[in-house]
Amino acid sequence: MSAPKLIAVDWGTTRLRAWLVDADGGVLARAGADEGIMAVPPGGFPAALRRQVGPWLGAHPGLPVAMAGMVGSRNGWVEAPYVECPTTVAGIAAKLARVDLGDGVEGLIVPGLAARDSSGAPDVMRGEETKLAGCDVTDGAVVMPGTHAKWARVGDGEIRGFSTFMTGDFYAALTEHTILGKLAEEPEDEAGFLRGVQASRRPGGLTHQAFSARTLVLMGEMPGAQVKPYVSGLLIGGEVAQGLAMSDDKGGVTVVADGPLGRFYELALAEHGRECRLLAPEDVFVRGLLRILDAA
């Protein structure tokens, strides 16, 4: 077994996950709890973290502890202010925040990134900058799907900017809290997904296109079980079309996703004739923390 190099922590709004990692990003052990930052009482961050990583700290004194995610937000342990794009992994590393875990142990918190889109509207990410660092992409588009999917534009090793799409948040709201939610489900059906991707390229915009998920079923032209993948296709298809349009890169696209979600992005990108390189979220997160610490 290789030597531990780092304790990596992804601490978000609803969950804490931790990994004991070797120098190559290999995972030696995992821990985690449904104890996101919203569940931590004032002053409770050191104790909450030690409940998960305490045994590793005891066994490997002096091992660095690096964290990313909402733990560095205004509502987290300490605020690690956003670094403005364009920037680099070294630019992120220069702004690490430091916290006291007690017993002389220090923790590092990765700052988020801020950017402006072409119209001047602000955009932010927190946690995804670490995954982005772990992708080792020097030129091209990197997509980090999720509740608020991020499309980053990288060129000559520089993070030029990024755009957020509320794809996952919309999916949950539309399929649970609108008229589209009253139908049966089979969320991973590829035919339904592709039908949605194709519909996303038609006129009328999302609020019009989405109604067809209902009328197609009403008219007997689509099985009710395809509604959810169809909505997924509308949202991811729209995201991919807009994300590609906002990027000037014409090459393949790196997507941080696995399983059915990764497959959906692969299918949607193929509709635009683009290659898709899938990377596993856990792998790029722990590697990203190693890259940022190396650059510090």
Residue 265 Cβ vs a copy of itself, minimum distance, rounded to whole Å: 15
Query: Based on CB atoms, which residue is closest to a copy of itself, 1 or 245?
Result: 245
DSSP H helical segments within 82-166, as ranges?
Answer: 89-93, 128-134
Residue 272 Cβ vs a copy of itself, minimum distance, rounded to whole Å: 15
- CA separation for the pair 269, 90 (Å, rounded): 31
Residue 53 Cβ vs a copy of itself, minimum distance, rounded to whole Å: 29
C-alpha dist (Å) from residue 209 to 140, 216, 238, 259: 30, 11, 11, 26
- Size of interface with a copy of itself, in residues (CB under 8 A): 48
Q: What single-letter amino acid sits at 225?
A: A
Q: What single-letter amino acid sits at 86?
A: P
Query: Based on CB atoms, which residue is closest to a copy of itself, 1 or 219?
Result: 219
The site map against a copy of itself for 234-273 (x = CB under 8 A) is: -x--xx-xx--xx---------------------------
Using the rule CB under 8 A, give the single segment among 30-38, 153-161, 206-214, 264-272 that binds a copy of itself: 206-214
Tell me if 14 contacts a copy of itself by CB under 8 A. no
Using the rule CB under 8 A, give the single segment among 172-180, 250-258, 259-267, 271-279 that binds a copy of itself: 172-180
Using the rule CB under 8 A, give the single segment among 18-26, 166-174, 186-194, 256-264 that binds a copy of itself: 166-174
Helices 259-271 and 227-246 cross at an angle (nearest 10°) of 60
The site map against a copy of itself for 115-154 (x = CB under 8 A) is: --xxx-xxxx----------------------xx------
Which residue of 45, 56, 165, 265 would you call a contact of a copy of itself, by CB under 8 A? 165
Tell me if 204 contacts a copy of itself by CB under 8 A. yes
Burial class (CB in 10 A: 0-12, 13-18, 19+), 204: exposed
Backbone region of residue 247 per phi and psi (left: phi > 0; alpha: psi in -120 to 50; beta: other values): beta
Kindly compute the dihedral angle of the four CA atoms of residues 285, 290, 294, 296, in this order, to the nearest 10 degrees.
60
Using the rule CB under 8 A, give the single segment among 15-23, 26-34, 97-105, 114-122 that binds a copy of itself: 114-122
* Parallel, antiparallel or unpaired: strands 253-256 and 140-144: parallel
Which residue of 63, 94, 206, 295 would you call a contact of a copy of itself, by CB under 8 A? 206
Tokens 């809290």 sit at which residue? 177
Tell how far CA 5 is from the center of its chain.
24
- CA separation for the pair 101, 105 (Å, rounded): 5
Residue 15 Cβ vs a copy of itself, minimum distance, rounded to whole Å: 16
Q: By the 8 A CB rule, do 74 and 43 touch? A: no
Q: DSSP letter for 43, please.
A: T
Query: Based on CB atoms, which residue is closest to a copy of itself, 199 or 289?
Result: 199
Kindly tell me the sign of the dihedral angle through the C-alpha atoms of 258, 278, 12, 163.
Answer: negative
Instruction: By CB under 8 A, name the binding residues for a copy of itself.
Output: 114, 117-119, 121-124, 147-148, 163-167, 169-170, 172-174, 176-179, 199, 202-212, 215-216, 218-219, 221, 235, 238-239, 241-242, 245-246
